[in-house]
Amino acid sequence: MTLTPLDWLPIAAIMLLMLGGLWLSRGRTRSVADFLAAGRTAGRYLVSVAGGAAALGAITIIGNLEMNYVAGFSMIWWSLSMSVVLLIIHLSGWVLYRFRQTRCLTLAEFFERRYGRSFRVFAGLIAFLSGIVNFGIFPAVGVRFFLSYCGIPAELSLLGVTVPAFPLVMALLLGVALVFVYLGGQVVVIVTNFVQGVFINVVFVALCAYLIVEAISWDQIFGALAAAPEQASLINPFRTSHVRDFNFWYFLIGVYGVIYGQMSWQGTQAYNASARSAHEAKMGQALALWKSMPQGLFLVFAAVVIYAVLHHPDFVPLAREVDQTLAGIDREAIRSQLRAPLVLQQLLPPGLLGAFAAVMLACFLSTQESYAHSWGSIFVQDVLLPLRRGRPLSPRAHLRALRLAILGVTVFVLFFSLLFQQSQYIFLFFAITGAIFAGGSGAVIIGGLYWRRGTGAAAWAALATGAVVSVGGIVLQQNDPAFPINGQVFWAIAMAASTVVYALVSLLGRQPREPVDLDRLLHRGRWAAEGDHMRATMPLPRGHRLLLFTEEFTRGDKALYLMTQAWTLGWFAVFVAGTVINLTRSVGDAAWISFWKVFLLIQFAASGIVVVWFTWGGVRDLRDMFARLRRQERSTADDGVVR
């Protein structure tokens, strides 16, 4: 065991904070809508911080460290190139704003209202199967980290019986997460995820400060990065033609996927419906740029530090020890996952060693809570209940069914993680398994929310196309791990094919007799739902006006928008200037090293401000959510069943 008594303090602290969140949430879940979407009472900061923690699992941290170890700073540069596109998505509330206007509790409930009940069942089943397969490796990757990082032996003695540590630790952690979800659904999940999110951001900033002040110098970092192979630079993004998998094309496909697949991935689907209004959902999305800053800083900086430690001559003894440990692992995918934990284990002092373990524990539990809640809810809401053909369950029976489904999901991922042999990078596995649903669902969502001519037949065809392409990719890669097309490219093929199919079938097929009434679907105009907007009489924003200030905006909202636009456009201007300079003259590594040093220092300073800002805003939203849950009237008909 590598952890000292001092290292157990932050681990105990995060568990106590989560238990405190559970205690604060007691008795507040009193309806199906509360269990599924926290009664639609969450404010922007709460949705942003808690949703961010739910999406940042232990596996996501390991996957990002794995990716950034290969790509270095290059992907940051290319991300600046698309910052304006992402700004438009975030500030306009693209997809999310309209979905929240539907007041649907799950995505497939919207599909039923738009395309029909049978398509809801089909889409719900595809989303559920895609999700649990994608989710299936989460526990395994997380537990491997804990065993390696904490120095837990392969076998443990339990009541005098020797048992393998891997399944025992996995069952224990899954059981803890299951208890939290069982006791209060999304109300408990959102509160505990918020606590975890604040803790994670604080520790990330502290870890970055230690790594650069005490563990390693700038000269050591950039000296190691500068020695990377020709055309596989980790410093100069214009010399990366030989970077495999995590290159410019990986990033470009990912950006297109953000536009096309906005809200397609349902792992944290409850957050799509939890905001107290469409405007709050939109503002929560606008905050995404800021809330992810501490996470992005650590995941890039820690990865390049790890690369430097393993390649700089000053760290040869440490690198040799890590390499010897990795040499005893037969699968390359597992060696890639454990590289970062083993280096950090050697670099971090007592206290911070435990703090990073506590972060990984928080991330493991937050994602397990949210994903088990999401996939269990989708099975009940979008498969089981529609098959009952309008015969809703009583609230008590409905909640029992949701809890049993969540239990079933937990048991499935336990056995899947124990049996499945992963053969590729985490994010490439994510891309292809997620594309089973997300490859086709983007066309169905966007067409359903924004295009009156989109038809049910087109939705069936598009979703089936995306699933077939993705399943075919999985089969090819499992039979041949060296198959030349990776998971990210299969995702791109699925998205493109589904878009074309949806458009062609809608245009060439038979149109329904009654045109789709989007105003009714989106609760606009005379169909507006009371309480979803600040004043019932104000005009609702549509089209390009979503990018502008509307009557829903307060002074603070306007200031936030202007600040976000200034920050993003400023970095985009840096990207344009840098690209022009690099295309017109030769720029050496020394200039890029200076740029990245300044970039990281600016990001570090901004991250410290973000931690304080979002903690204060989230606490205020948490207090408001509890007040709304206390006085809010519940309806038994608000259960996601289309009657």
Contact 87, 75 (CB under 8 A): no
pLDDT-derived band at 207 (thresholds 50, 70, 90) equals very high
Tell me the two tokens of residue 111: 């599909």
**Do 307 and 234 meet the contact criterion of CB atoms below 8 Å apart?**
yes
Question: pLDDT-derived band of residue 444, with 50, 70 and 90 as boundaries?
Answer: very high
In sequence order, what are the residues at sequence separation of 6 or more whose Cβ sits closer than 8 angstroms to the Cβ of residue 161? none
CA distance linking residue 157 with residue 608, whole number of Å: 43
Cα separations (Å) of 164 from 137, 167, 170, 176? 18, 6, 11, 19
Report pLDDT for 448. 92
Dihedral sign of CA atoms 456, 378, 488, 484 in order? negative
pLDDT recorded at residue 264: 82
Q: Give the C-alpha distances (Å, rounded to integers) separating 136 from 88, 270, 373.
A: 34, 19, 14
Task: Report d(CA 464, CA 436) in Å as an integer.
Answer: 9
At 12, the pLDDT band (50, 70, 90 cuts) reads very high
pLDDT tens for 386-433 read 888 767 788 899 999 999 999 999 999 999 888 877 655 676 677 667
pLDDT single digits (tens) 52-109: 888 888 888 888 888 888 778 877 887 787 777 777 887 777 888 888 888 888 888 8
Q: Are 353 and 3 in contact (CB under 8 A)?
A: yes
Q: Does position 594 have pLDDT exceeding 60, yes or no?
A: yes
Cβ contacts of residue 180 below 8 Å, gap of 6+? Answer: 18, 22, 188, 189, 192, 365, 369
Share of the chain above pLDDT 70, in %: 91
Bigger pLDDT: 512 vs 19? 19
Q: pLDDT, tens digit, for every residue of 602-625?
A: 999 999 999 999 999 999 999 999
- For each of the domains in the chain, give its residue range(s) and CATH number, in order of start: 5-245+279-422+549-630 (1.20.1730)
pLDDT at 535: 42
Of 12-21, 234-243, 337-346, least confident by mean pLDDT is 234-243
- Are the C-beta atoms of residues 375 and 270 closer than 8 Å to each other? no
pLDDT at position 621, please?
95
The secondary structure of residue 313, as a DSSP letter, is G
Cα end-to-end distance, the chain, whole Å: 57
| Overall residue count recorded for the chain in this entry | 643
As a whole number of angstroms, the distance between CA 83 and CA 73 comes to 16
- Whether 270 shows a pLDDT value over 70: the answer reads yes
Rounded Cα–Cα distance for residues 38 and 372 (Å): 16
pLDDT band at 210 (very low <50, low <70, confident <90, very high): very high
Percentage above 90 pLDDT, the chain: 33
DSSP 137-195: THHHHHHHHHHHHTT--SEEEETTEEEEHHHHHHHHHHHHHHHHHHHHHHHHHHHHHHH
The Cα–Cα gap between 357 and 347 comes to 13
CB 249 within 8 A of CB 93: no
Residue 548 above 80 pLDDT?
Answer: no
β-pair partners for 158: 161
In this prediction, residues 153-179 reach a mean pLDDT of 87
Q: Which of 127, 190, 93 is nearest to 522 (CA)?
A: 93
Render pLDDT for 496-522 as a digit per residue (tens, 0 to 9). Answer: 999 999 999 999 887 777 778 888 888
Name the residue among 102, 128, 121 with its Cα closest to residue 445. 102
Q: Count CB-CB contacts under 10 A for residue 449.
A: 22
